[in-house]
Each structure stands twice: as C-alpha cells, then as structure tokens.
Amino acid sequence: MRFAKVTAALLAVSAAFGSEVPAQQKQKIDPARVDGTVKSAFPTAPADWQARLTPDETMQQCSAANNTPPAATFETIQARARASIQYPADGKFVGNWKAGEGLAQSGYGLRFTDTTPNRVNGGNCYACHQITKQEVSYGTIGPSLLQYGKARNFSEADAKRAYEKIYDPHASFPCSLMPRFGTNKVLTIAQIVDIVALLMSPDSPANK
Ligand code: HEC
C-alpha cells in the first residue's frame, strides 16, 4: 500500500519535471532560481550548514552551463580539481579492501540525523555504482565497477587514477555528477585509500 503510494507520487513528480518532455523542449534552467529554492528549503539549517547551501565556484560554473561548460571553463574546473588533490604521504594508493567495502556501503555523514559521536562518514558508493556481485542493492547513475582492478591488470597507475577519481571526480570529468569526497572533506585520505583497495585489490570481491 505504502509502496504504491510512493510510486504514484514519484510518477507524478517525474511527469511534472519533464522526464516526458523531448530534449529540444527542455526549459532553460536559471541557476539563481535553483540556488534560491535550495536555500529556502532549509530555513532552520544549523549555522555550519549555511556554507553548504552556497554553491562553490565549480558548482556555479557547472550549473550555469547545464553541466556542459565551454572549453575554457572546462579546463579551469579541471585545473582547480587537480590542484585540490592531496596524496597519501607514503605514496601507497591501495589500502584495506574490507574497510573500503564498509565505507562504500555506508551512507552515514553530513545529514541532520547523523549525530552519533565519533562515527565516520561513509562514501555511499553503492548508491550510484555496482561494485561487487554480493551486494544486490545498488544504483546505476554511475557505471558498474565490477572487475575494476582486474580489467586494469591491477596497475599502480590505475590505482592512482582511482584515488584521484574519488578525491575529486572533476579532475578527470569536469561537471561529473559524482561527489568530491576528498576535496569536500567527506572522506579522509586513509579512507579513500581503503576504498581504492576495494576496486584495485586482486583479493577484493569486486574482482571475483
Ligand atoms: C551520486 C552518484 C555517485 C556516487 C555517490 C559515487 N559515484 Fe562514482 N561515478 C558517478 C558517475 C555519474 C560517474 C561517471 C562520470 C565520471 O566519470 O565522473 C562515476 C565514475 C566513477 C569512476 C570512474 C569509472 C571509470 O569507468 O573509469 C569510479 C572509479 C568511481 N566513480 C568510483 C566511485 C566510488 C569508489 C564511490 C564511493 C566513494 C563513488 N564512485 C560514488 C556517480 C557517483
């Protein structure tokens, strides 16, 4: 019963917001209006949330260009993302895949309800990606990451690339829909290294 109601509501929303509108009739999006709507949706947000309601330069540039910026802006966004990446001090990009799997599954962090002391943020990777065959619940906004390391011969260069991807996806794909886990301080360097291990370790379930 409840599911039926939710599904009907979702259908109404998607109809209202144009999933049935042909691409050429898509309305132009006014970023200022979107920002205003986001701000007004959180009138009681705690003080430390205010900064999160103001899009940073990368978000502003992506929104203004509907995520397809002209070449010069594309390069500016990419350069800014690259410059923001901090690397592990020991130069090792592949940590502990078991810890990485826990982080990939966890959506904890940055929500009003996330107030448990000392509980670490997760990466919520499964919200958008398939990673292992064992996990049956995953989103498909991002590509499947099954066999990610195996397909790349577990190379050190690809482990570094995966680290950079997770740290700041705009470094390789400006205006990516993937969150900037390192740049925005959602995950620590050590946590990202553990998630890289989930993708790049030969013994990780992602590569079985
Ligand atoms: C909100 C959705 C979303 C979340 C959450 C997300 N991603 Fe992504 N990811 C994407 C999208 C979309 C792409 C494709 C565009 C791009 O490459 O930036 C992508 C691309 C990638 C790629 C590159 C794939 C390739 O073919 O080279 C990797 C690796 C990756 N994500 C890993 C992760 C990991 C690990 C996490 C969790 C820490 C994560 N993603 C969380 C949406 C997401």
Please report which confidence band the pLDDT of residue 35 belongs to, taking 50, 70 and 90 as the band edges. Answer: confident
Please report which confidence band the pLDDT of residue 14 belongs to, taking 50, 70 and 90 as the band edges. Answer: very low
pLDDT tens across 88-116, in order? 999 999 999 999 999 999 999 998 889 99
The candidate with the shortest Cα–Cα distance to 206, out of 126, 142, 124, is 126
Ordered by start, the domain boundaries in the chain are 97-207
Mutation choice for ligand 1 from 67, 120, 178, 192, CB with most ligand atoms inside 8 A? 178
Determine the distance separating the centroid of ligand 1 and the alpha carbon of 165, expressed in angstroms: 7
Closest-CA residue, ligand 1 atom 26, reads 143
pLDDT tens across 138-158, in order? 999 999 999 999 999 999 999
Question: How many Å apart are CA 174 and CA 107, to the nearest integer?
Answer: 24
In this predicted structure, the answer to whether residue 194 has a pLDDT above a threshold of 50 is yes
Return the sign of the alpha-carbon dihedral for residues 132, 204, 161, 90.
positive
- Supply 67's token pair: 């995520």
Q: Cα-flanking dihedrals φ and ψ of residue 29, to 5°?
A: -95, 130
In this predicted structure, the answer to whether residue 6 has a pLDDT above a threshold of 70 is no
Closest-CA residue, ligand 1 atom 41, reads 125
Determine the distance separating the centroid of ligand 1 and the alpha carbon of 162, expressed in angstroms: 9
Closest-CA residue, ligand 1 atom 17, reads 173
What CATH topology corresponds to 97-207? Cytochrome Bc1 Complex; Chain D, domain 2 (1.10.760)
Question: How many Å apart are CA 56 and CA 59, to the nearest integer?
Answer: 5
